[in-house]
Amino acid sequence: MTSDVNAGAAAKGLPRRDDFSDWYSEILWRAEIVDTRYPVKGVCVWQPFGFKMRSLIYSILRSLLDDSGHEEVLFPLLIPRSELMKEEEHIKGFEGEVFWVTRGGYEELDVPLALRPTSETAIYPMLNLWIRSHRDLPIRIYQVVNVFRYETKHTRPLIRVREITSFKEAHTAHASREDAEEQVHVAVEIYKRFFDRLAVPYIVTERPEWDKFPGAERTIAFDTLMPDGRTMQIATIHMLGDKFARTFDITFEDCDGNRKFVQQTCYGISERCVAAVIAVHGDDHGLVLPPEVAPVQVVIVPIVFSRDEMRDDVLSVCSELRDALDDANIRVVLDDSDERPGAKFYKWEMKGVPLRIEVGPRDLKTGKCVFVTRHDLNKFHVNLSTEEVVGMVRKTLARIYEEMKANAWRRFNDMIISLSAETTAASSAESDASDASSDTSASDEDVLSLIGAKMRGGIVNVFMCPKCGKALKELTGASVLGTPFDGRKKGKCVVCSQECAELYVARTY
Ligand code: 5CA
């Protein structure tokens, strides 16, 4: 009985998700995630619905960290200039992005204070005081804070902001290099579990030398794909070795009484993880949320009009269902507002509520209600008993998550283009005709351009050495994401034939 009403539930005026940039801006305010009208460039205001979603996402992250030996801390926002400037490479990477506080009231400050762009230089002077002996190690701490970066590239809500409001940064210190390396693997596993819970697909790569975190020995990154074929870096893990330890003199006494520098790692995630959930799963009707992070998991919509004689009966059955779901710890809303059912469908579809239950007068007579799953907009009938409804809601929410994850990975894998075979052929054919003496011959450029063109469809996976990767970046504006973190495959560079690892390249956010 409800299908006619449902037909009105298209998201009028919402740009199609294919126009990703417009769709993304619209969905943020229509679904009440963030308001971007705050009068400072590159910052935004979390609205209640968006903030609830953010809290649910971060509670997954917190519990994964808490369960793997991390402890939450809170360091100050302000960092004295003298500390920030200590690590040469680090400051070289960040200097252009720092916001400074130079005055207090009417007075110039003796030491200018930086608004943290990240917290190595706030945390490590304290580790210097806290760590004395090998018994104090390992240390694994994290905080979820706001950090400030004066981004000069085009800013975009949640994706590239000047005030990152949800910066989860973890910092660890270890007695040996092996322990720190092991922690890098642990962090990768934690992040895999995190993004799996969000049903967000990813690749994990080791970033090239020129794209490492300032001051890090190695950077490993997670990237996901946006609907327009560009990648977004959603997490990074850095092996710092003893570089910062030497700068901040963080030492410990080992079992034999020798003083040694600690070995460190750090790893971070920002509100880009919220952006990823929005972008990866959304559709032409609005948000589609994995049940675990949906502020509202079930909406009950009574299909009644004011003069329906069974109106009260319908509303009372709906209330019973709402109470039963509430008791079962399912986040449920009964929308008994005066709006028409079609308007309610539109609103809750826009907000990505995973499951809608419809109950109308005819349903009471047949003893059934209608379930509509948001991710595929499919409908089915369920017996109208509170017990059966609660059981079926649980089952359906679990199924929605599994299907969303499978769909997202399928779309993701479809956008990974393996070029090894194709470009190898192109490369050898072209290089026969090329001038062997030139360093980057015309044929090399052809191969690089071919790869550049393919990248419009997503991530390209190709055997390429770092040097040719850099040439590709310069020629096509492509970004070299890096080599697969778990991969051991070796092949010949499609450009220069040198033995090398696989490389992922893409256009990036
Ligand atoms: N201290 C390290 C690890 S905690 C660090 O700052 N790493 S980072 O610079 O790579 O940042 C961590 C993550 O924050 C990045 O992987 C990226 O996903 C996200 N991020 C970086 N800059 C921004 C920004 N301006 N807006 C939103 N997210 C950002």
CATH number at residue 464: 3.30.110.30
My answer on whether 297 and 394 are in the same domain is: yes
Look-up: residue for tokens 């309610």? 344
Please report the atom of ligand 1 found closest to the CA of residue 158.
Answer: 27
My answer on whether 90 and 215 are in the same domain is: yes
My answer on whether 431 and 368 are in the same domain is: no
Q: Residue 447: CB within 6 Å of ligand 1?
A: no
Cβ-based neighbour number of residue 196 at 10 Å: 13
In the predicted model, what is the mean pLDDT of residues 88-101? 93
My answer on whether 429 and 483 are in the same domain is: yes
Residue 488: predicted pLDDT? 78
In the predicted model, what is the mean pLDDT of residues 197-222? 96
The one-letter code for the residue type at 320 is: E
Q: Which of 281, 302, 327 is the last residue of a domain?
A: 281
Q: Residue 423: CB within 6 Å of ligand 1?
A: no
- Do 189 and 165 contact (CB within 8 A), yes or no? no
151 alpha carbon – ligand 1 mean position (Å): 12
Residue 2: predicted pLDDT? 39
Residue 451: predicted pLDDT? 81
My answer on whether 382 and 478 are in the same domain is: no
Helix (H) or strand (E) segment spanning residue 177: helix 177-197
My answer on whether 136 and 196 are in the same domain is: yes
Residue nearest ligand 1's atom 22 by CA: 160
Number of domains in the chain: 3
Choose between 140 and 477: higher pLDDT: 140
For residue 57, give Cα distances in angstroms to 167, 190, 197, 292, 293: 13, 14, 9, 8, 6
Please report the atom of ligand 1 found closest to the CA of residue 119.
Answer: 1
pLDDT, tens only, 325-372: 999 999 999 999 999 999 999 999 999 999 999 999 999 999 999 999
**pLDDT level of residue 442 (50, 70, 90 thresholds):** low
Residue 474, judged by CB atoms within 10 A of its CB (0-12, 13-18, 19+), counts as: exposed
My answer on whether 340 and 268 are in the same domain is: no
In the predicted model, what is the mean pLDDT of residues 269-293? 98
Please give the span between the terminal C-alpha atoms of the chain, in angstroms, as a whole number: 45
pTM for this structure? Answer: 0.93
My answer on whether 116 and 23 are in the same domain is: yes
Find the angle CA(305)-CA(291)-CA(170) to the nearest 5 degrees: 145
223 alpha carbon – ligand 1 mean position (Å): 12
Q: What is the CATH number of the domain that holds 200?
A: 3.30.930.10
Per-residue pLDDT for 83 more than 70? yes
Rg (CA), the chain: 27
- Do 37 and 31 contact (CB within 8 A), yes or no? no
Q: Which of 262, 281, 300 is the last residue of a domain?
A: 281
In the predicted model, what is the mean pLDDT of residues 170-193? 98
3-state SS track over 99-158? EEEEEECCEEEEEEEEECCCCHHHHHHHHHHHCCEHHHCCEEEEEEEEEECCCCCCCECC
**pLDDT level of residue 285 (50, 70, 90 thresholds):** very high
Give the residue from 362, 381, 363 showing the smallest Cα distance to 371. 381
The mean of the pLDDT values for the chain is 92
Q: Which of 404, 438, 460 is the last residue of a domain?
A: 404
Residue 11: predicted pLDDT? 64
Q: What is the rounded distance in angstroms from the CA atom of residue 76 to the CA atom of residue 35?
A: 27
Q: What is the CATH number of the domain that holds 368?
A: 3.40.50.800
My answer on whether 352 and 230 are in the same domain is: no
Per-residue pLDDT for 128 more than 50? yes
Give the residue from 267, 269, 268, 265 showing the smallest Cα distance to 138. 265
1: in domain: no
Q: Residue 235: CB within 6 Å of ligand 1?
A: yes
Per-residue pLDDT for 431 more than 50? no
My answer on whether 234 and 293 are in the same domain is: no
Instruction: Tell me which of 240, 270, 271 to substitute to probe ligand 1's pocket, judged by most ligand atoms within 8 Å of the beta carbon.
Output: 270
Residue nearest ligand 1's atom 9 by CA: 213
Per-residue pLDDT for 53 more than 70? yes
**pLDDT level of residue 306 (50, 70, 90 thresholds):** confident
Cβ-based neighbour number of residue 96 at 10 Å: 10
Per-residue pLDDT for 436 more than 50? no
Please report the atom of ligand 1 found closest to the CA of residue 234.
Answer: 18
12: in domain: no
499 alpha carbon – ligand 1 mean position (Å): 32
pLDDT, tens only, 220-272: 999 999 999 999 999 999 999 999 999 999 999 999 999 999 999 999 999 99
My answer on whether 239 and 291 are in the same domain is: no
Token pair of 284 as six digits: 């032409």
Residue 472: predicted pLDDT? 86
**pLDDT level of residue 4 (50, 70, 90 thresholds):** very low
Q: Residue 224: CB within 6 Å of ligand 1?
A: no
**pLDDT level of residue 483 (50, 70, 90 thresholds):** very high
Helix (H) or strand (E) segment spanning residue 267: strand 263-269
My answer on whether 242 and 321 are in the same domain is: no
Per-residue pLDDT for 425 more than 80? no
Q: Residue 267: CB within 6 Å of ligand 1?
A: yes
- Do 318 and 302 contact (CB within 8 A), yes or no? yes
**pLDDT level of residue 407 (50, 70, 90 thresholds):** very high
- Which residues form the domain of 323? 287-404
User: Helices marked H in 358-478 — which ranges?
Assistant: 361-366, 386-414, 420-433, 442-454, 466-476
Q: Residue 332: CB within 6 Å of ligand 1?
A: no
For residue 237, give Cα distances in angstroms to 71, 190, 240, 430, 501: 18, 11, 10, 39, 20
For residue 413, give Cα distances in angstroms to 21, 133, 227: 22, 47, 13
